[in-house]
Structures are given as structure tokens and as C-alpha cells.
Amino acid sequence: MKGQVNMDVKALGKVAVLMGGRSAEREVSLMSGTGVLAALRSRGVDAHAFDPAERELGELKHEGFQRCFIALHGRFGEDGTVQGALELLGIPYTGPGVMASAVAMDKLMTKRIWLAEGLATPAWRQVNSAEETQAAFAALGSPMIVKPVREGSTIGLTKVTSPDQCDAAYALAAAQDPLVMCEQFIAGDEVTCPVLGTGADARALPVIRIVAPDGNYDYQNKYFTDDTQYLVPCGLPEGEEAAIQALVLQAFITLGCRGWARADVMIDAATRRPYLLEINTSPGMTGHSLVPMSARAAGLSYEDLCLSLLASAALDNPAASAHA
């Protein structure tokens, strides 16, 4: 993976970097997109910023864009909706396709598929009220995580340690999404692992261990402080990193992902068993983001990572795009 990516950038054509959008993660998306745009331009790509919150996606076709780098995060960008629109327009895009994007955005559906495939993920309950959240706390134990099903970046997430916190935790999550879930908290090492590629060529990158202040890896500590430590090499016991990479690669393939994604994993401190939390199909590309950090440890610069991802842009059904 080491070495600069060499390719004919002119062959990539006119490129739109989709950023911003309408989700709760708009601010982070603008940060990601700005970085990607600068990186692609530094490599000679004819790249342009495009904010779907301000412009109709149909303009991509009218303005002759030939591929899209999706730097959108959250709903209306990472959930299959934009991917579906680009399929209809016949414009190849980065990252997983319509179904994989939609499933991965829904943490409940993701967990159901992983569980069916025998992949470890923490116990959970879907809840529809504060009362059901109380019942979930009694069943899952303390601490418990309460979070919206279709949101990212820890937005709307609460770590509950007593029953009297359940009502507020449910209200906070429900304000982001009508679907709310409670999840058993796994105490131990928090790690993340990206995957690049498609099918037999998909490869897991180095694992990053995350050490956040007081163990609180929230929105602020993810994007806007320098207090969180990211350890790569991860320093895990021998064999654990390879096992996590294998688990994450299986999780990626099971959901039908392509191009790239990043899975978050908790390692039980007592048993050392890794548990899959979720998978991000349009990971962050900011100065604090983890995919560029892991890629750099594997010998791939930020600019070359962006170029490689752009070159992997594809359609679920390229044959149909000829008629778009």
C-alpha cells in the first residue's frame, strides 16, 4: 500500500465533492469536504465543491460532472438516498451502494444482520418510550448506552448509569430520530478499523485505539479538542489486532459494502472479546479523522487516499447508467 498513487487524473473527469448537506453532521461534513477538495486539486483533479443543501442534485448531470466523492455524513448523504439519486443520474460515486449504505445507517438493521451471520455485537433493545427505556435498563444493566438508530458522530447519545437518567436519555435520542435503541455498554478498549477496497480486494487497515478524556469519546472530543489520544500502532496484545481486522473485514463484506468504510469496536476488558458497534460508510476526512490516520500508518498519504477512493467510484448497476 506504500508509495504514491499514480494514475491519469484527467481520466477521472470533472468531479463533484459532495459536502454539507442537511444532516446534524453538516458542520463536520463541510470540514471533511474541504480537506478532500484541496487534496484532489493538489493532485490535479478537476474537482469542485457541491452542497446538496443548496443545490439540486440534478445539476450534477446538467453541469457535466462525471463522478462524485461523497463527503456527506449522516442522513441525506450516508443513508442510501444520495446514492440512489446518483444511480438514477448515472454518475459513479465513492463508497458503498444504495442497500449497504441504507442498512449501515440503521444500527438496528446492521446488528440484526451481523447477529444472523454470527458476528459479535452488544445486546440491545429497541425502545419507543421512556418507560421502555427504564425496562431496557433493568434488563441490560448499568452502564447502558441510549442512542438514535439513524444518527452518527455520537449525536443524541447518552451513557446511562442510573434509572433516573433514562427519561432524559430517551428524550435526547428521540429528538434526533423516532427510532431509539438501548445497548449494553462494553467496558474496555475502544478501537476503530477502516477497510479499503471491494470484494476480494478489500483490506483492513491498521487498528487505532482511542483513549478519550475520562473515557468520554463524544462529539466535542471527536472533532474539536486535542485531548483524545489515537494510538497507531494500537499496542494491543499480539494477535488481537489481526483478529479485529478479520472481524471488521467480515462485517464490511456481510453488509455488501464496497469502496471504503470504518467499523467501531469495543473490546471487553475481562474476556478480550471484540464486539462490533457500528460501521460508517462515509467516514470523516477532517484533521481529527481516523481513516486518514490509519491509512498514513499503512504508508498512504491523505492526498493519495483521496485519489484512490475517487478512482474506486462506481455504480451498483453500471449497465443501467448507460440509459441515464
**Cis amide prior to 143 (ω within 30 degrees):** yes
> Catalytic site residue 25?
yes
d(CA 223, CA 27): 10
> Catalytic site residue 239?
no
> Catalytic site residue 264?
yes
Report the alpha-carbon angle 314-319-320, nearest 5: 100
Of these residues, 20, 25, 95, 189, which one is catalytic?
Answer: 25
* pLDDT, tens digit, 9 for 90 and up, residues 265-321: 999 999 999 999 999 999 999 988 999 999 999 999 999 999 999 999 999 988 765
Of these residues, 264, 303, 304, 316, which one is catalytic?
Answer: 264
Assign domain 9-94 to its CATH architecture: 3-Layer(aba) Sandwich (3.40)
Given this chain, do its domains 104-120+187-304 and 124-184 carry the same CATH topology?
A: no
Q: What is the mean pLDDT of residues 72-86?
A: 95
Has residue 251 got a pLDDT over 90? yes
Of these residues, 280, 282, 308, 312, which one is catalytic?
Answer: 280
Has residue 219 got a pLDDT over 70? no
Of these residues, 241, 262, 303, 312, which one is catalytic?
Answer: 262
Of these residues, 32, 101, 153, 308, which one is catalytic?
Answer: 153
Has residue 5 got a pLDDT over 80? no
Has residue 322 got a pLDDT over 90? no
Domain positions in the chain are 9-94, 104-120+187-304, 124-184
Q: Tell me what the pLDDT averaged over the chain comes to.
A: 93
Would you call 116 helix, strand, or coil by DSSP?
A: helix
Instruction: To the nearest 10°, report the CA torsion of 118, 216, 27, 151.
Output: 30
> Catalytic site residue 294?
no
> Catalytic site residue 201?
no
Largest CA distance in the chain: 60
pTM of the complete model: 0.91
Q: What is the mean pLDDT of residues 230-234?
A: 95
pLDDT of residue 238: 77
Cell numbers standing for residue 127: 425502545
> Catalytic site residue 280?
yes
Which CATH code fits 124-184?
A: 3.30.1490.20
Q: What is the mean pLDDT of residues 134-155?
A: 92
Q: What percent of the chain has a predicted confidence (pLDDT) above 70? A: 93
Q: What is the mean pLDDT of residues 139-145?
A: 96
> Catalytic site residue 284?
yes
> Catalytic site residue 278?
yes
Specify the amino acid at residue 114. Answer: W
Contact between residue 300 and residue 279 where contact means Cβ atoms under 8 Å apart? no
Choose between 214 and 265: higher pLDDT. 265
Would you call 46 helix, strand, or coil by DSSP?
A: strand
Which of these CATH numbers, 3.30.470.20, 3.40.50.410, 3.60.15.10, 3.30.56.10, describes 104-120+187-304?
3.30.470.20
